[in-house]
Amino acid sequence: MRIVDYGVQVGSLTRGKLNKITDVPGVRVGHATIHDDRHHTGVTVIMPCDDNMFKNKLTAASFVLNGFGKTQGLVQIDELGTLETPIALTNTLNVGRVHDALVGYMAKRCEADQFPMRSINPVVGECNDASFNEITDRPVNESHVLAAIDALCEDFEEGCVGAGAGTICHGLKGGIGSASRLLDIAGKTYTLGVLVQSNHGTLEELHVMERPLGREIIAKRNAQPKQEPQDRGSIMMVLATDLPVSDRQLRRILKRCAVGLARNGSYFGHGSGDVMIGFTTANRVPHGGMHRVIAHQVLTEHTLEMAFRAAAESTQEAVLNSMTAAVEMTALDGKVYESITKYL
């Protein structure tokens, strides 16, 4: 179930066919999930294209709104404006192992293509799922990353799967969520999609299309709001599009994902790592220094207006979808985290 199934319409722009990040042509998503007595965790892989992206890189950007996080690979994205590996999401203490697995995967891919790889910049994001996962065990390994890659598809699962298996969102069960929007520009239709790993927010501030749902839930529980609520736990946002934009323009678009978070009630607290990673499939960059001049088409700046709206709407709905798709779960300490669907 997704938020639209409960009669909630997020924004006014047209949704993509699946209303997922994979509505962007070529993009696929796969999960590997670990559910056992000690662990509820996993890995989610976003594959931007079918061909070798080290050989033919994608224009990319990142934006860190609050840097309480442990990502890898963003420094080079910011410097060069390119993405050369899949993007993987996991838990905080498994970033290194997932990074290593992506190195191995890309090394084999380049070897198969007879294209030498002497350096690579894997991109890995994380959220802390220690409430549901004995995180120091670091259970996610190379086999899980490869399993997620094997599971790549367009109509992927949402909720308590992959990197969202053990996350908490606005005091309720969080997870993986996605949404997309279609944009008509100069007679051509483009797509922008967002995938989130939601692990942020406070119940007190939760709003669903201006409805103060969090405070309603607190009232139903006959509880009192915390005197000092803490928005902590982090959220990873991955934005994909086929818009012809530069890495600078893409970063401008990425920043608007924060609007979607704010609409749902996040104020980007001290302990919340709010990280955005984006790429476009439109403007590719060949590897190496022999290509002295590359011709790219880019939108004019005022044309980005619709993309800003699409980023805000897609993020807002993706977070809500991550919550409606999630099921009630009991944490390691016995605390129950309900699904938002109980209150819609």
Catalytic residue list: 234, 272, 274
Residue 246's Cβ-count burial label (10 Å; 0-12, 13-18, 19+) is: middle
CA distances from 165 to 14, 161, 323 (A): 29, 5, 12
3-class SS of residue 18? coil
Strand pairing report for 235-241 and 274-286: parallel
Q: CB–CB of 53/82 below 8 Å?
A: no
Q: Which residues contact 35 (CB under 8 A, 6 or more apart)?
A: 165
3-class SS of residue 76? helix
Instruction: Fill in the DSSP letter of residue 113.
Output: T
Which among 59, 25, 159, 148 has a CA at the least distance from the CA of 98?
Answer: 148
Polymer length in residues for the chain: 344
Alpha-helical segments (H) within the chain: 74-80, 95-112, 142-150, 213-220, 247-255, 257-264, 305-324
The 10 Å Cβ neighbour count of residue 216 is 13
